[in-house]
C-alpha cells in the first residue's frame, strides 16, 4: 500500500494505491494534511477512502505538496565519505562529519520543484561530472514521527561540490535535482528499514553503462537520529521528507549524460526511473503545472 498524490479529471487528489487501484482519501486532499496528523490512528484513517479507480486512469504526481520540505543527509555511508574525499579539494570536512555527533543535513527541494517517476531529472549545464544518488527517504509528520518511507534521487554535481564545499547548495539544489518515487509506503509496511537493498542502474542507448548495489544495513547513522537532528530546532507543520544519504557513488570518471535513464530500486519501498536532461530549459515546465509532461491527460 502506498500514499499517492495524483491528478484525475482535472483535479488533484490524495489517496491510497493498492493492487493496481487508487482510492481517494475522504478526509484529506493534500499530502500536507496527511502529514499534519499524528501517527496514532493513521492506519485506520488511510482506510477511510472513496470509490477506487484503476491506477492506469490517473496521472501520478510527486508525493509532496504544501509546506512539506525535502531535506537530505550527507556522508552517512562509508562509500559516500570516500567518494567526497576523492573528489574534494577540502577532504577533511567530509572525514570529520562522518563521525561527528552532528550530521550533515541540507534542504534539498520544495514540493513544486520535485519530480516523480517517469519525469526528467537534470544535470546542470555548467557541471561536467554529475551523478544520481539513490537514497532511502523517511517521511515524518509534524510531530517528528516517521510515518513512511519513499525513494529519493539526490542528483548531485560532483565537480561543483568538489571545487569548494561552500558550493554544495549549487551542486545539490537546482531545477531537476530531486526526484521522489510516486508513493509513500506506510511505516508499518517497512518493518526493517535497515535491512533494505538499494540498487542503481544507469542505462545509455539501451545498455546498462553503470550499476551498483548497497544495503541500508551500511548506514552509519540511524534514520531516527538523522530526523531528530533535523527537527531539533526546526518545525515542520506539514511534515518533512528526509533522504538518508547515498551508499552508491560511481567512480569519478563516470558522468551522467543527457538521454541516460536512471533506475533506482529499494526493496519493499519502491522504484524510481527518470530520463536525464541537461540544463534548465528542459525543466522549465516545473514552474507551470499545466506544462507537466503528462498534463494533457489530466487537465480538463
Ligand atoms: O556532502 C555532500 C553530500 C553528500 C550526500 O549527498 C550523500 O552522502 O548522500
Ligand atoms: Mg545524497
Give the pLDDT of residue 97. Answer: 96
Compute, in angstroms, the gap from residue 246 CA to the centroid of ligand 1.
Answer: 7
Nearest CA to ligand 1 atom 1: 74
Q: Is 84 in the pocket of ligand 1 (CB under 6 A)?
A: yes
At 140-178, the pLDDT tens digits run: 999 999 999 999 999 999 999 999 999 999 999 999 999
Domains, the chain, with CATH or none:
62-295 (3.90.850.10)
Beta strand pairing call for 178-180 and 134-140: unpaired
| Angstrom distance (rounded) from CA 297 to CA 9 | 8
* Position 299 pLDDT exceeds 90: no
pLDDT digits (tens, 9 = 90+) for 3-24: 999 999 888 999 999 999 999 9
Task: Give residue 262 CA to ligand 2 midpoint distance, Å.
Answer: 15
Q: For the chain, what percentages of helix, strand and coil (3-state, to nearest 5) are there?
A: 25, 35, 40
Q: Which helix (H) or strand (E) holds 225?
A: helix 223-231
Residue with the smallest CA separation from ligand 1 atom 6 is 74
Bridge partners (DSSP) of residue 18 are 21
226 lines ligand 1 (CB under 6 A): no
**Does residue 133's CB lie within 6 angstroms of at least one atom of ligand 1?**
yes
Residue 214 Cβ < 6 Å to ligand 1: no
Distance in Å, CA 186 to ligand 2 centroid? 22
Instruction: Report whether residue 104 contacts ligand 1, using a CB cutoff of 6 Å.
Output: yes
pLDDT tens-digit map of 226-244: 999 999 999 999 999 999 9
Our mutation pick for probing the ligand 1 site, out of 74, 81, 226, 264, counting the most ligand atoms within 8 A of Cβ, is 74
Question: Ligand 1 pocket check: which of 70, 71, 73 to mutate, most ligand atoms within 8 Å of Cβ?
Answer: 73
Nearest of 298, 300, 295, 299 to residue 119 by alpha carbon: 295
Amino acid at each position: 500500500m502506498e500514499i499517492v498524490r495524483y491528478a484525475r479529471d482535472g483535479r488533484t487528489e490524495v489517496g491510497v494505491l493498492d493492487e493496481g487501484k487508487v482510492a481517494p482519501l475522504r478526509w484529506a486532499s493534500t499530502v500536507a494534511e496527511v502529514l499534519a496528523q499524528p501517527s496514532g490512528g493513521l492506519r485506520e484513517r488511510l482506510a477511510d477512502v472513496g470509490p477506487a479507480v484503476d491506477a492506469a486512469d490517473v496521472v501520478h504526481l510527486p508525493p509532496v505538496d504544501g509546506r512539506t520540505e525535502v531535506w537530505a543527509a550527507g556522508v552517512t555511508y562509508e562509500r559516500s565519505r570516500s567518494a567526497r574525499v576523492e573528489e574534494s579539494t577540502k577532504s577533511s570536512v567530509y572525514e570529520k562529519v562522518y563521525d561527528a555527533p552532528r550530521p550533515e543535513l541540507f534542504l534539498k527541494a520544495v514540493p513544486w520543484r520535485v519530480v516523480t517517476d517517469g519525469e526528467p531529472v537534470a544535470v546542470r549545464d555548467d557541471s561536467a561530472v554529475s551523478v544520481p544518488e539513490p537514497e532511502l527517504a523517511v517521511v515524518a509528520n509534524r510531530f517528528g514521527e516517521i510515518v513512511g518511507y519513499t525513494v529519493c534521487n539526490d542528483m548531485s554535481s560532483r565537480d561543483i561540490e568538489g571545487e569548494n564545499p561552500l558550493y554544495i547548495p549549487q551542486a545539490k539544489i537546482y531545477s531537476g535535482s530531486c526526484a521522489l518515487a510516486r508513493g509513500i509506503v506506510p511505516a508499518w509496511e517497512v518493518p526493517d528499514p535497515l535491512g533494505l537493498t538499494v540498487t542503481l542502474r544507469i542505462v545509455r542507448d539501451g545498455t546498462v553503462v553503470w550499476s551498483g548495489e548497497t544495503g541500508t544495513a551500511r548506514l552509519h547513522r540511524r534514520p531516527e537520529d538523522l530526523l531528530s537532528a533535523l527537527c531539533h530546532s526546526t518545525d515542520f507543520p506539514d511534515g518533512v521528507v528526509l533522504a538518508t544519504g547515498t551508499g552508491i557513488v560511481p567512480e569519478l570518471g563516470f558522468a551522467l549524460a543527457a538521454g541516460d535513464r536512471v533506475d533506482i530500486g529499494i526493496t519493499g519501498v519502491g522504484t524510481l526511473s527518470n530520463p536525464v536532461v541537461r540544463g534548465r530549459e528542459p525543466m522549465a515546465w516545473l514552474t507551470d503545472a499545466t506544462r507537466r509532461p503528462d498534463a494533457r491527460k489530466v487537465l480538463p
